[in-house]
Amino acid sequence: MAANNSIEWRAVCEKFRLAQELSEIESKKDPENNPFRSKYKARDLLKEIHCSLKKIEIEEQGEAGDEADCESSQTADGEPEDGFEKTFTGDSAAGLRAARLAVLQYHLGVNHIETEELSAGELHLMVCMKLIDKCTTTRENVSLFIHVRNQLGILWAGRDEIEKAQGFLEIAETMYLVYMKEDGQPPLDLQDFFVPEGEELSQQEKIRRFEMAYTHTLYYLAQVYKNLQQYERAAQYCHSTLQRQLEYKQFAPLEWAINAATLSQYYITKTRYMEARHCLAAASVIANLAGEIPSEAAAKESEAESEKREELLQKRAEIARCWIKYCLNLLQDAKKLLEDNIGELDLDRQDELKRARRNEEEEKEKGRKSAILFGSSDTFDSICSLEEKVSSMLPLEFEEARSIFLVGQTYVTQAKEYFAMDGHVTDHIEILQDHSALFKVLAFFEEDLERRCKMHKRRVDMLEPICKDLNAQYYLLICRQLQFELAETYYEMMDLKLAVADKLDQPDVHTIKKFNHLCSSSMKYYQMFLDSTRSPEGKFPEKLEDDLLRPALVAKFRVARLHSKLISSNLATQMENLSLSLESYNFVVQYCEENPEAKNAVETELELSMEMVSLLPLKINRIRSTLASSK
């Protein structure tokens, strides 16, 4: 680089430095009504540098400009591209010249994109890419090679052209791997092209920036794969990103923690609870690095403290919610394994699983663990000790289930502190729904029917008052969910009462009353659910919306069943109940006749309803004739 120390060159370097400063520091202070002022200034400087470079090039080589004049920065590189042929080596003089021009094109591209001129930005990036594609990839241009593809990746992802984004990012990824394998020396950073001799970045800084660019590639790829619904790969890339961020200490604690907590949710869906727990424990520990939560008093004093307090509390509450899901799913997955075909604990299966666990699990977990660790020495112990507080193995008996339940419940309390009903209705209720689900699944492990029933009672107690208070005009969906869940909970309690009565020799009048009450409550909530689909004039829709179709018909079906379950010693009442039951079965049948497309949604229920519609009248007639004859 002959011109490295000329006055002219120093002026170019100074301009470049100024452009960087304007773009990255000054621009943050730009006024709202002129938000890109500094960016535009930077752009002008970059264009000037581009002209200077061309001039230097012509002077040095004494050749005619082969690429038109400095205006070329405004237009696409129209030259036909001759495939993959490499014209220069990256470290040749021509290669370096090309790279230097490409760095400028890169910055111009990013500048246009940041000022919302996406198409123009894209053109500059493409020019940049073509310039370096003429050269072999070396220490001099490998960093730019990755940076420009990262930018094109984001650009196309933003336009929802995910496959295009994927193409750029995967090439960047491969290039990093190839370079590290074949060379591995600290590569030149983009900035190194525009500094006077002797002011290049340190080796460590070069490495840091290069690794960061690659971390970004991985992070973008994670999102690209997620959008392509390749979840397994997306998770893998997320995990690597998080690991690398810790390793190179390039992370914002809260953001890192939230990403790790989110990743845990993926592992949960794959029943990889050990990984999920590791993510969550790491999330909790790293979130604490974000600092102490300012006190309420401090928050009142200053807006900055208030904002910080709000943010910390919110993120921690969100991590707590991820923990709740962890506990809940662990329990539910265990239940799925342990239940028989009618949802009861299968004792043989339980024994079998206990034996299997003793033999295998521990060995397997050990092997899996090393690959996924978030290895940062200073936080490692805290993460481990947090992990020890809750099992990552599927619980196989009540005591194990209970300890997971209790951890979940602690996080429920924690999450509710921030997501209070006052102000956070939707979130608060979602947490309550999880709490209810925790009780529901714990009940599965409980053998004692009375205690089981009490667990369901707790669910009713927490959901019922909220269901009453909530305005369906604003929270229609939640109201429906609550109504349905309450209806089902009462149904379960009714079944349990029956099973308890089954064990007693003589169910008394009180039991029967209680039973009828539970039936009626269940019916009441199913009815409320059904009523929520009515028009303001009170008309039931002729055609149910798709997402309501099955729930509504199931609700009708259950109401029909419940009507015929009510106990009464009075024949007339019996007859009335059965008639109401018939009416509801009939509704299901009629609806499906009028809307044949509904049949698939409720196949079994429809079949049974049709049978009942044909058979119930027989029952009703008998009672009628008995009634008639007893008069």
Q: Residues 346 to 405: which contact other proteins by CB under 8 A?
A: none
Binding residue for other proteins, selected from 235, 285, 383, 466, defined by CB under 8 A: 466
Query: Residue 441: CB partners within 8 Å, gap ≥ 6?
Result: 328, 331, 332, 335, 401, 405
- Which of the residues 441 through 460 are near other proteins (CB under 8 A)? 441, 443-444, 449, 452
What whole-number distance in Å separates Cα of residue 399 and Cα of residue 410? 17
Binding residue for other proteins, selected from 9, 145, 176, 219, defined by CB under 8 A: 219
Among candidates 617, 570, 613, 566, which has minimal Cα distance to 588?
613
- Which of the residues 138 through 167 are near other proteins (CB under 8 A)? 154, 157-161, 163-164, 167
Please identify, using beta-carbon distances, which residue of 356 and 476 lies nearer to other proteins.
476
Beta bridge partners of 345: 339
CA torsion 483→411→319→261, rounded to 10°?
-90
Q: Give Cα 143 to chain centroid, integer Å.
A: 31
Query: Residue 401: CB partners within 8 Å, gap ≥ 6?
Result: 331, 334, 395, 441, 442, 444, 445
- Which of the residues 13 through 32 are near other proteins (CB under 8 A)? 27-28, 32
| Closest CB 35 distance from other proteins, rounded Å | 5
| Closest CB 620 distance from other proteins, rounded Å | 9
- Binding range to other proteins, per CB under 8 A, among 94-102, 203-211, 362-370, 425-433: 425-433
Residue 126 binds to other proteins (criterion: CB under 8 A) = yes
What whole-number distance in Å separates Cα of residue 552 and Cα of residue 530? 6
Number of residues engaging other proteins in binding (CB under 8 A)? 127
| Closest CB 339 distance from other proteins, rounded Å | 6
Query: 26: number of CA atoms within 13 Å, CB side?
Result: 15
Please identify, using beta-carbon distances, which residue of 261 and 589 lies nearer to other proteins.
261
10 Å CB burial of residue 118 (0-12, 13-18, 19+) is: middle
Residue 566 binds to other proteins (criterion: CB under 8 A) = yes
CA 465, 470, 471: angle at the middle one, nearest 5? 155
Please identify, using beta-carbon distances, which residue of 360 and 502 lies nearer to other proteins.
502
Instruction: Give how far Cα 147 sits from Cα of 150, 289, 307, 441, 506, Å.
Output: 5, 30, 34, 49, 79
- Which of the residues 258 through 277 are near other proteins (CB under 8 A)? 258, 261-262, 265, 268-269
Binding residue for other proteins, selected from 53, 276, 281, 322, defined by CB under 8 A: 322
Binding residue for other proteins, selected from 253, 548, 576, 579, defined by CB under 8 A: 548
Tokens standing for 469?
């208070």
- Which of the residues 284 through 303 are near other proteins (CB under 8 A)? 303
Please identify, using beta-carbon distances, which residue of 77 and 192 lies nearer to other proteins.
77
Binding residue for other proteins, selected from 5, 295, 570, 590, defined by CB under 8 A: 570
Among candidates 18, 36, 17, which has minimal Cα distance to 27?
36
Phi, psi at residue 345, to the nearest 5°?
Answer: -60, 125
Binding residue for other proteins, selected from 83, 184, 536, 596, defined by CB under 8 A: 536
Would you give the binding string for other proteins spanning residues 42-81, x where CB under 8 A is met? ----------------------------------x-----
Query: 473: number of CA atoms within 13 Å, CB side?
Result: 1
Residue 510 binds to other proteins (criterion: CB under 8 A) = no
What whole-number distance in Å separates Cα of residue 80 and Cα of residue 69? 18
- Binding range to other proteins, per CB under 8 A, among 14-22, 101-109, 203-211, 332-340: 332-340
Within 10 Å of residue 385's Cβ, how many Cβ atoms?
A: 11
Please identify, using beta-carbon distances, which residue of 53 and 575 lies nearer to other proteins.
575
Please identify, using beta-carbon distances, which residue of 14 and 469 lies nearer to other proteins.
469
Please identify, using beta-carbon distances, which residue of 194 and 219 lies nearer to other proteins.
219
